Chains A and B, each alone.
Chain A
């Protein structure tokens, strides 16, 4: 129950932060920082894949409401929710995951977190910008937007981890 309320709150915070702060930032060069993939990454390890995708769809659609993108964010969010288990398997520690812990940098170390989130963001952005331009002749714009936005989003992810998920005082 505790987990449920925590994740619903997180969903609201991430959607509002994305829609009202990060979506309104303008860096130019086709850069769109996106923070809501972090919400999907941070859902508990034992979330069932179907639930994961439905939650991702809700997050994506809510962001589409803000950004006037009509389903593009929803599609990209569902895509990374679908491949999240595979990515986690790829980078699993030797003795597997402890499902009582959350998938955050504090519990699993920054090298693990950066690897997992870099791959997730890269795939998310590639899917997103690929669909947005949706023609082969725009491959330069797609790749540029993908790589530059991945760098910015990854930096924001790490900052969020450093600032809001500190080591707790009590053990």
Chain B
């Protein structure tokens, strides 16, 4: 026993070092490998509040840009209001819109903290469970997809940005209908790669990349980016597609959280797929 204590005393420093490293690294790697609710994040109230203060000071610098974007968005929305159209012929053009039901709701929020230079990036938004936000909801900006909600507290939420290695959003290229996975390789925050495309599918440079809507995170056809570069993967019958994101993640300020009203129903029915196989 005395020897044991003597041993402990001699290596005390190293043991403390080991314990602290294990505490820090286990948290880091468990977050990186699979999603789990953690307490190490800025959705906790103290840092969240501090970051909100900072944001209140700096937000005036971005007002012009934000206004321009809102105007552009408003114009788009105006185009969709039936009042702005006159019917060509009242006998033939009869629109009955009640067949459609709302399936995706959008909740506005502001980004209060973000990173884009790491190989895995997260950002914090100022809306939490009190605004009806839950884990695994999709997050979009006015121009494209930006991430998926990773963790929520009462007033804040952390979003796993599209610039994360294991984000794996399913996407398809407009007109070809073939689909693949969006991945980030940690180099350029403007670009992601689209994997899983067999090279017998024709892909045009400049065509749009849209969300496929699997998992119910995003509405189908939500824009992501455009195809920028196309290269064959050496030794494999695949394309290596570089996609330029519509939303510059370095300038992200205002986002919408997408709430799928039929999420539960979708999950319930998709649960049966493994059993059928």
Q: List residues of chain A with CB under 8 Å of any chain B CB.
A: 16, 19-20, 23-24, 26, 28, 30-32, 49-50, 53-54, 57, 60-61, 64-72, 74-75, 78-79, 82, 131-133, 138, 141
Residues B40 and A50 in contact, CB atoms below 8 Å apart: no
Which chain A residues lie closer than 8 Å to B41 at the CB level?
A: 65, 68, 70
Which chain B residues lie closer than 8 Å to A16 at the CB level?
A: 50
A68 and B25 contact, Cβ closer than 8 Å, known pairs A19-B47, A53-B20: no
A98 to B115 alpha-carbon distance, docked (Å): 42
Residues B27 and A71 in contact, CB atoms below 8 Å apart: yes
| CB interface residues, B 12-35, toward A, < 8 Å | 12-13, 16-17, 20-21, 23-28, 31-32
Residues B27 and A70 in contact, CB atoms below 8 Å apart: yes
Which chain A residues lie closer than 8 Å to B124 at the CB level?
A: 68
Closest residue to B13 on the A side, CB-wise? A49
Which chain B residues lie closer than 8 Å to A75 at the CB level?
A: 21, 24-25, 28
Residues A19 and B50 in contact, CB atoms below 8 Å apart: yes
Nearest CB of A to B186, in Å: 7
Residues A79 and B186 in contact, CB atoms below 8 Å apart: no
A61 and B17 contact, Cβ closer than 8 Å, known pairs A26-B117, A141-B187: no
Nearest CB of B to A53, in Å: 6
What size tier do the contact residues of chain B reach? 35 or more
Residues A71 and B25 in contact, CB atoms below 8 Å apart: yes
Residues A66 and B113 in contact, CB atoms below 8 Å apart: yes
Residues B117 and A28 in contact, CB atoms below 8 Å apart: yes
Indicate the member of A28, A60, A70 with the most B CB atoms within 10 Å.
A70
Nearest CB of B to A45, in Å: 16
Residues B50 and A69 in contact, CB atoms below 8 Å apart: no
A79 to B28 alpha-carbon distance, docked (Å): 15
Residues B42 and A66 in contact, CB atoms below 8 Å apart: yes
A interface: dominant SS: helix
Residues A57 and B24 in contact, CB atoms below 8 Å apart: yes
B38 in the interface (beta carbon within 8 A): yes
Which chain B residues lie closer than 8 Å to A30 at the CB level?
A: 117
A64 to B38 alpha-carbon distance, docked (Å): 12
A75 to B24 alpha-carbon distance, docked (Å): 5
Residues A131 and B25 in contact, CB atoms below 8 Å apart: yes
Q: Would you mind naming 15 contact pairs between A and B with Cβ atoms under 8 Å apart? A: A16-B50, A49-B13, A54-B20, A64-B40, A66-B42, A66-B47, A67-B42, A68-B41, A70-B27, A70-B41, A71-B27, A74-B20, A75-B25, A131-B28, A141-B119
Which chain A residues lie closer than 8 Å to B105 at the CB level?
A: none
Residues B42 and A74 in contact, CB atoms below 8 Å apart: no
Contact with A along B25-63 (1 / 0, CB 8 A): 111100110000010111010110011001000000000
Closest residue to B26 on the A side, CB-wise? A71
Residues B21 and A78 in contact, CB atoms below 8 Å apart: yes
A69 to B17 alpha-carbon distance, docked (Å): 20
Residues B28 and A72 in contact, CB atoms below 8 Å apart: yes
Closest residue to B47 on the A side, CB-wise? A65
B69 in the interface (beta carbon within 8 A): no
B229 in the interface (beta carbon within 8 A): no
B239 in the interface (beta carbon within 8 A): no
Residues B51 and A71 in contact, CB atoms below 8 Å apart: no
A66 to B114 alpha-carbon distance, docked (Å): 10
Which chain B residues lie closer than 8 Å to A141 at the CB level?
A: 119, 186-187
Closest residue to B121 on the A side, CB-wise? A68
Which chain A residues lie closer than 8 Å to B186 at the CB level?
A: 133, 138, 141
Indicate the member of A31, A50, A65 with the most B CB atoms within 10 Å.
A65
Which chain B residues lie closer than 8 Å to A71 at the CB level?
A: 23-28, 31, 40
Nearest CB of A to B56, in Å: 12
A26 to B21 alpha-carbon distance, docked (Å): 28
Indicate the member of B16, B38, B51, B123 with the most A CB atoms within 10 Å.
B16
B172 in the interface (beta carbon within 8 A): no
Closest residue to B122 on the A side, CB-wise? A68
